C-alpha cells in the first residue's frame, strides 16, 4: 500500500461508516428531514446550491484564514513582549485571559459601529478568539529554552538579542504553530458566531449567516451543506498549518528534534 493510501484510507473509511450510519438513521424515519436531513439530500443540496454556497464561503474563508494569520502575528508579538518584560507579563496576561470571557454579542455592536457591515468586524472577532491559544503556547515555547543553553550562548558572547534570534525564536516557532492549530478549532466556530452576531450587508454574507437563515427558513439540507463546507475548510486549514510547520520548523517533525 502506498504512503498516500495509508494516510487517506483510515479517515475515509471512518467517514464512510459515519455517513452510512447517518443515512440509515435518517432513512428509518426516526426523525423529520427538517431536523436531520439524510446525507444524500445534503449532497444534492450542495450540488444544486454550489454557486450560492461558494459565494458565502468567500467572506467566511477570508475571516478564518486572515483571522488565524493575524492572530498568529498578534499572539506571537504579545508573547515576545511578555517574555522580555515582567511588567508587561503582569499587565497583559490577566487582560488577555479576561478578553476570552467577553461574549461576542457584547462587543459586536461596537465593532460594527467602528468598521461597518463588511468583513472587518468579523475578522476582529476571529482574531480576538484566536490570538489567545497562540499567545499561551508561544510564551511556553519561548520559556522552553533552558538556562544552561542561555549560559552557553552568553559565554559565546551572544547579546540578549542574539540569544533570542538563535535559540528562543526558533524554539517558539513550532509552539506558535501548535497554538494556531488550537486556534483553528475555535476560529471556525468564532467566524460563525461573529457572523451570527453582527449585521451584514451584501448578497454573500458568509456561511454562518447563511446557516442561520436556512435553519430559520427550514432549508435544513442547505444548512447542512454549508456546515459540511465549514468542516472541509477546517480540515484544509489544519493541513495547511502542518505544511507551514514543515516549511518553517522542519526540525520539529524530525525524530529527536525536540527543543534542547
Report yes or no: 141 and 174 within 8 Å, Cβ to Cβ. yes
Stretch that binds another protein, among 57-65, 103-111, 116-124, 152-160 (CB under 8 A): 152-160
User: Which residue from 44, 92, 150, 185 is in contact with another protein, where contact means CB under 8 A?
Assistant: 150
In the complex, what is the shortest distance from the CB of residue 146 to another protein, in angstroms, rounded to a whole number?
8
For residue 144, give the H/E element and its range: none
In the complex, what is the shortest distance from the CB of residue 253 to another protein, in angstroms, rounded to a whole number?
11
- The C-alpha cell at 139 is 510564551
- Helical H runs in the chain? 3-27, 39-48, 50-84, 86-99, 104-115, 120-143, 147-155, 160-163, 169-197, 207-216, 220-248
Q: Helices 120-143 and 169-197: crossing angle, nearest 10°?
A: 150
256 binds another protein (CB under 8 A): yes
Q: How far is CA 179 from CA 70, 184, 246, 255, 256, in A?
A: 13, 9, 15, 21, 21
34 binds another protein (CB under 8 A): no
User: Which residue from 46, 89, 170, 186 is in contact with another protein, where contact means CB under 8 A?
Assistant: 170
149 binds another protein (CB under 8 A): yes
Nearer to another protein, 34 or 251 (CB): 251
Nearer to another protein, 159 or 242 (CB): 159
Stretch that binds another protein, among 52-60, 111-119, 177-185, 250-258 (CB under 8 A): 250-258
b/e burial code for range 91-121 (CB count within 10 A of at least 16 → b): ebeeebeeeeeeebeebbeebbeeeeeebeb
φ/ψ of residue 87, rounded to 5: -65, -45
Stretch that binds another protein, among 97-105, 129-137, 150-158, 238-246 (CB under 8 A): 150-158
Binding pattern for the stretch 109-148 against another protein, x by CB under 8 A and - elsewhere? -------------------------------------xxx
Nearer to another protein, 167 or 223 (CB): 167
- Contacts with another protein by CB under 8 A lie at 146-160, 162-163, 166-167, 170, 249-251, 254-260
Amino acid at each position: 500500500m502506498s504512503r498516500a493510501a495509508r494516510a487517506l484510507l483510515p479517515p475515509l473509511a471512518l467517514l464512510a461508516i459515519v455517513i452510512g450510519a447517518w443515512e440509515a438513521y435518517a432513512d428509518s424515519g426516526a426523525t423529520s428531514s427538517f431536523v436531520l436531513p439524510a446525507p444524500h439530500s445534503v449532497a444534492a443540496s450542495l450540488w444544486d446550491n454550489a454557486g450560492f454556497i461558494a459565494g458565502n464561503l468567500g467572506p467566511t474563508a477570508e475571516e478564518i484564514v486572515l483571522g488565524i494569520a493575524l492572530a498568529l502575528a498578534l499572539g506571537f508579538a504579545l508573547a515576545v513582549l511578555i517574555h522580555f518584560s515582567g511588567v508587561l507579563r503582569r499587565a497583559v496576561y490577566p487582560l488577555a485571559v479576561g478578553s476570552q470571557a467577553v461574549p461576542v454579542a457584547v462587543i459586536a455592536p461596537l465593532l460594527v459601529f467602528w468598521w461597518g457591515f463588511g468583513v472587518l468586524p468579523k475578522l476582529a472577532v476571529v482574531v480576538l478568539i484566536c490570538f489567545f491559544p497562540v499567545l499561551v503556547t508561544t510564551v511556553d515555547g519561548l520559556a522552553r529554552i533552558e538556562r544552561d543553553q542561555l549560559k552557553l550562548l552568553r559565554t559565546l558572547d551572544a547579546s540578549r538579542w542574539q540569544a533570542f534570534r538563535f535559540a528562543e525564536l526558533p524554539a517558539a516557532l513550532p509552539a506558535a504553530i501548535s497554538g494556531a492549530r488550537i486556534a483553528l478549532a475555535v476560529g471556525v466556530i468564532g467566524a460563525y458566531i461573529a457572523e451570527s452576531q453582527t449585521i451584514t450587508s451584501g448578497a454573500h454574507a458568509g456561511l454562518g449567516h447563511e446557516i442561520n437563515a436556512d435553519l430559520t427558513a427550514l432549508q435544513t439540507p442547505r444548512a447542512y451543506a454549508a456546515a459540511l463546507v465549514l468542516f472541509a475548510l477546517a480540515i484544509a486549514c489544519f493541513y495547511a498549518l502542518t505544511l507551514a510547520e514543515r516549511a518553517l520548523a522542519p526540525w520539529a517533525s524530525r525524530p529527536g528534534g525536540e527543543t534542547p
